[in-house]
Chains A and B, each alone.
Chain A
């Protein structure tokens, strides 16, 4: 009140600066504690029964109504999250390593004697079954110094491929697929992947099949 009007007149003009921030009271003379926050701004909400938070059920602290508490993450919770996540990553890595080791062990097959080298004619082929009795394979000798063995299963729909050593290809009669003899890669027709190669070993003039190499290209 500026004093020019009676103080009990309810219609005296209001202070125009009243709504400016940090301006307290009608004339700036109101006691400051009148507008003191009634509670800690971080903790404004009291539970309905009015008891302190120590006596409240635990879920009230887990699901707080107050915005600051809702965004608050304890250091211990953060560390717990980090440790558990790192642990999960480590366990995952160990799992991947174990699985690949198991797969490598499972893919190891017993050796199989196919034939002596001098039994394989140059420009000819010898059929054998490796690693299981029903897995048909073929050993070809297109040149004197080259012995290659492939699984006969066509990578398109598993028909048996036939070696045509004079043309240097494997021919699949089902859909006219062709594979290169020296690399096993598809040349024509529907197949997109190379034939599985049988790993060979020369043991004192005899040829042994020692492994299967699955290929994608």
Chain B
């Protein structure tokens, strides 16, 4: 059995209300009872209440599997990057450092990396992942592309992300405003790492723009020793 190809995972961070229902639902699962594989991240806690649920994005070229020295991270034919294989994982934490989305986590007490596998025990038999079944605001949505197009007419799915020179295509889609979709080559995440972003809206970069800005002035230049 495998995850049906026509069912996809869509994350709409703008709809997340931070209710922790997905975290609780993930904790219930028997495959990792008591531990949540979904991370609910706060964005700029001091100035905003915005939260973002982070599940594994299931990359087409999984960086975690690329860097694993123990050959423990595998990808099944339906595009699901599985959690680390127990007999092989050496809990070195390379995947934790490498994943651009910050998904894997090493559990020191049991000496293994565990991460979201899109509830493979459920999706491989045609059910939805736990978090998508409980999300009250449908920030986590599991269904077909037509469904999401009909439910979110003003948003568009996006699954290409650029981290500097690395372009990552994922199986999990992020919903972005429709006006920003279709421009450029994926979402330039490095551009969002500026210290003071000009706009809160996600901006897809134009080809050929340099994302990072130089330091405008040296804070120590007036001090003469």
Which A residues have a C-beta under 8 Å from some C-beta of B? 10, 12, 14, 18-26, 30, 34-37, 40-42, 44-48, 63, 65-68, 70
B residues within 8 A CB of A70? 71, 74
A70 vs B153: C-alpha distance in the bound complex, in angstroms?
41
B residues within 8 A CB of A36? 5
| Given A19-B126, A41-B77, A45-B75: A65 touches B60 (CB 8 Å cut-off) | no
Which B residues have a C-beta under 8 Å from some C-beta of A? 2, 4-7, 60-63, 65-66, 71, 73-79, 82, 126, 128, 143-147, 150-151, 153, 166
In whole Å, how far is B164's beta carbon from the nearest beta carbon of chain A?
13
In whole Å, how far is A118's beta carbon from the nearest beta carbon of chain B?
77
Say whether A25 contacts B146, CB under 8 Å: yes
In the complex formed, the residue of A with least CB distance to B66 is: A48
A34 vs B74: C-alpha distance in the bound complex, in angstroms?
26
A21 vs B124: C-alpha distance in the bound complex, in angstroms?
11
B residues within 8 A CB of A19? 7, 126, 128, 143
In the complex formed, the residue of A with least CB distance to B59 is: A45
Say whether B126 contacts A47, CB under 8 Å: no
- Of residues B2, B6, B63, which shows the largest number of chain A Cβ atoms within 10 Å of its Cβ? B6
Say whether A25 contacts B62, CB under 8 Å: no
B residues within 8 A CB of A18? 143-144, 147
Say whether B77 contacts A46, CB under 8 Å: no
B residues within 8 A CB of A46? 60-61
Known: A18-B143, A19-B128, A48-B63. 5 other contacts (CB 8 A): A25-B144, A26-B150, A41-B77, A45-B65, A65-B74
Q: Looking at the complex, which one of B5, B65, B146, B153 makes contact with A26 (CB distance below 8 Å)?
A: B146
Say whether B5 contacts A35, CB under 8 Å: yes
**5 A–B contact pairs at CB < 8 A?**
A23-B6, A26-B144, A65-B73, A66-B75, A68-B77
A residues within 8 A CB of B63? 48
Those 3 A-B pairs whose CB atoms lie nearest each other, nearest first: A41-B77, A26-B146, A35-B6
A30 vs B66: C-alpha distance in the bound complex, in angstroms?
36
A residues within 8 A CB of B76? 66-68
In whole Å, how far is B80's beta carbon from the nearest beta carbon of chain A?
9
